[in-house]
Amino acid sequence: MKKLIINKILIIFIIVTIFSIPVIAFARPGGGSGGSSGGSGGSGGGSAHSSTRGNGNGRTNPIASIINFGVFMVIGSTGAIVYRVKVSKKKKECVTTIKSLADKDDNWDYENIKNDIQEVFDKVGIAWIEMDQELARGYVSEKLFENHRMKLEWMKIRKERNIIEGLTLLKITVLGLEDRDGIDRDVLWASIKATSIDYTINEETKQIIKGDSSRPIGYEEYWRFIKTPERWVLDEIKQVEEIENLEFFKISIDN
């Protein structure tokens, strides 16, 4: 009876934990993919499964399972805490620098930067949803414009359509910048956290071929912006797994 209760507690704990973790988006504006993250999750699940069969008698020890799961969660939580501390430090350093630059250069007005990023996020999302990159012209660089246009054309050839509903920008965290001579050479890196319902259908059959039409998913990406005479525009999108550590984001200022 005691063992049954412990097993039930463990199952409930695992379910609650799983549903509290944001799922990586499948497609989203720009075609970002969570495939590698999903693969890692699957691999981890396999490891956990094999460890539960380690008993010679083939039975699972519920106490050992709870301890193992607890250790796993502590290690994961520690890594997340360290990451958040580093991000907070980067943001503080970056915001301080931006506000200092803004005293002499209106291009670095912090509120305007955040407004530009929100506007770019909205335009890029609409263009992707409508499969019409012309809607994002002036809000992305020519390089990214062509990149997204080709991805959308390829989706049309394959009769695929990415459906995105409730696309919402949750948080902007500036992480790095380059202040260069001239109005069109400045660079800004920011962490973008967002959420949406995100799935892909076959346009002929209307069948879902990727994603989930019922559950919102959260994701984080690193966006690189460059300054134009009109506004900050999106130039590049990197997935979190592409950046090994936050030292990638530098603060560089021309004297």
Q: Grade residue 56 by pLDDT with cuts at 50, 70 and 90.
A: very low
Q: Give the residues across from 211 on adjacent strands.
A: 199
pTM for this prediction: 0.72
Structure tokens at 191: 């962490």
Domain count, the chain: 1
The answer to whether position 118 is within a domain reads: yes
Look at residue 138 and tell me if it is in a domain.
Answer: yes
Residue 136 in domain = yes
Assigned domain for 58 exists: no
- Which domain does 199 fall in, by range? 106-253
pLDDT tens column, 172-201? 999 999 999 877 789 999 999 999 999 999
C-alpha 103/C-alpha 69 separation (Å) is 51
Q: Which residues pair with 252 in a beta bridge?
A: 178
CATH number at residue 219: 3.10.450.240
Residue 39 placed within a domain? no
Q: Answer whether residue 29 is part of any domain.
A: no
Assess if residue 52 is contained within a domain: no
